[in-house]
Amino acid sequence: MKDRFFWKNFIEKISKKFTHLDFEMVALENKTGLTRFAESTIHQNVEESDLELSFKAINGNRMGVVKINSLDDNVLLGSINKAIELSKIMPELDYPYHCVEPQNYYPVNSFFKDTAQLSPMDRSRIIGKMVKKINQMDYDASGALENGMETMVVANSDGVFAFHDKTKVDFNCVINKGNSSAYRSLISNDINQLDFEKITEELIDTARMNVDQMEIEPGTYTAILSPDAVAEVLSESDYAGFDGKLIEEGKSFIAGKQGKKLFPESITIFDDPFHPMTMSIPFDFAGYPRQKHSLIKNGIIIGGVYDHFTALKHQKKCTGNTLSPVNASIGAISFNLVMQQGEDSLEELLKSTKYGIYISRFHYVNLLDPMSIELTGMTKDGTFLIENGKLTRAIKNMRFNISIIELLQGVDMISSERHVKPGFVGPVVAPYLRTNHFTFSSKTTF
């Protein structure tokens, strides 16, 4: 992996070679390994070394963008010349453009040597140990364990030079026997934060409960959502509702609603890069510092997140949420969603529920209506009936059609316990929550 000094020299070399050229550059270099297992066998096992370099030549209000994955001189210089050539013939943007000026970044440590050094054999041994225990309980295991390191460099001709390296470990596992199944996922910068023995026990406990599933009728129920399910709800809401580009175009449910109280006092959601549970990067893909930003505070809509381009176009402030050049046309997404915790334990959420449904996980969630953030999807790997404060029966999977606005408006309890789960861009820090408004629309057969 190339270090800070390599990239510093690289930028200087470009600046010397192409004097008077305004440019922006984003480089992502990664080394990643992933071991996949199914039916208790490792069936896919891969390692990858790659680089993605996006170079934007800026010619007043015109620009040319090229992306390459090789730093060979002939490829690199040819591509920069291509970007310059394109910047001369492109139509002008319909708003005045300028690069980000040099910024200060809050230092973040997200590189962990043990994670970077985890070898394919280490991954096999971790998986082998889990699989053995799960097989002893007569279940099969499927899943993936991924580890890797990534370097992110953002630079421009106005003097921005931002360098960050990080590691990541991502694990998911389903265990099953017939229709009995359970799922867990973990994500962290640090392999030492993952407790594989604990997760194995949890998987077996859940799967043992998830048997003899009964059917229930579609309808609106009180439901307790696990952090996996909550993370999905938050990610979809953020994508469809809090992107500044959608807000400016009038295509978001929060357009014109900033400052209005739409949700209970207990609902507070941040994009918080410095939360102790999250996985941070110090800057966005334009070179803006990442910042803590309220999306919803005490039930009141505060505002969305803005990327560099939408901010310039609509004369707004960039919130440090610019996406990678490949995804730039989407607008902005929160990198570090965090939902404020409540005061109750999961046991208290359950105990105080007379009749309801516990949802472990969703499957194939899709947006039906962006203005109400109405979602559809299925439940999966453990849906349970709650009766008189206890999980009493497993339930067959159900389809839900539900507005996230109504779901959040119905929230009356939030757990103090939170977990880190994968999100669309970065991780999501999510609690358990209880809502009195969760609508199932149809059933399936298992």
Partner 1 sequence: MRKILKNILDYLELKADYADVRFVETDRETIEVENGALSSFNVSNDRGIGIRVLVNGAWGFASTNELRKEELLRTAAQAVEIARASSIVKKENIKLSPVKKYIASYVTPIIKDPFKIDAAKKIELLIQATNLMLKDKVTKTEGSLDFWKTHKWFLSSEGSEIEQSIFESGGGIAAHAIKEGEFQTRSYPASFEGDYATSGYEFIEKLKLSENAERVAHEANKLLMAPVCPEGIRDIVLGGSQLALQVHESCGHPAELDRVLGKELSYAGGSFLTLDKLNHFDYGSPMVTITADATIPGGLGSFAFDDEGVPAGKTYLVKQGRFTGYLTSREDAVKLGQKSNGTARAENWNRIPLVRMTNINLLPGHFELDELIGDIKDGLYLDYNKSWSIDDRRLNFQFGTEVAREIKNGKLGKFYKNAMYQGMTPEFWQSCDGIGKEKYWHVWGIPNCGKGQPGQTMHVGHGTSPARFRNIKVGASR
Binding to partner 1 (CB under 8 A) within 332-361 occurs at none
Q: What phi-psi label fits residue 118: left (phi over 0), alpha (psi between -120 and 50 degrees) or beta? A: beta
In the bound state with partner 1, the residue whose beta carbon lies nearer, of 62 and 292, is 62
Comparing CB distances to partner 1, the nearer of 82 and 316 is 82
Q: Which is nearer to partner 1, 21 or 68 (CB)?
A: 68
CB of 390 to partner 1, least distance (A): 27
Q: Which is nearer to partner 1, 102 or 256 (CB)?
A: 256
- 376 binds partner 1, rule: CB under 8 A: yes
Task: Tell me: does residue 403 bind partner 1 (CB under 8 A).
Answer: yes
Contact between 9 and partner 1 (CB under 8 A)? no
Residue from the set 377, 410, 427, 431 that interacts with partner 1 by CB under 8 A: 377
Residue 24 has, within 13 A of its CA and on its CB side, a CA count of: 25
Residue 446 binds partner 1 (CB under 8 A): yes
Binding to partner 1 by residue 308, rule CB under 8 A?
A: no
In DSSP terms, 180 is beta-bridged to 177
| Strand segments (E) across 178-236 | 180-188, 219-225
Dihedral of alpha carbons 388, 391, 393, 398, sign: positive
Q: Does 297 bind partner 1 (CB under 8 A)?
A: no
- Looking at the Cβ atoms of 59 and 103, the one nearer to partner 1 is 59
* Smaller CB separation from partner 1, 35 or 415: 35
Among 67, 177, 261, 351, which residue sits at the site for partner 1 (rule: CB under 8 A)?
A: 67
Candidates 3, 9, 17, 47; binder of partner 1 (CB under 8 A) is 47
Residue 290: which of 417, 166, 191, 414 has the closest Cα? Answer: 166
Distance, CA of 288 to CA of 262 (rounded, Å): 30
The contacts of residue 88 (CB under 8 Å, 6+ apart) are: 59, 62, 64
State yes or no: residue 173 binds partner 1 (CB under 8 A): yes
Shortest reach from residue 92's CB to partner 1, in Å:
8
The answer to the question of residue 265 lying near partner 1 (CB under 8 A) is no
Binding to partner 1, residues 105-124 (CB under 8 A) = 119-121, 123-124
H helices of 284-416, in order, are 308-313, 346-351, 404-409
Strand partners, 413: 434
Helix, strand, coil % over all residues of the chain, rounded to 5? 25, 40, 35
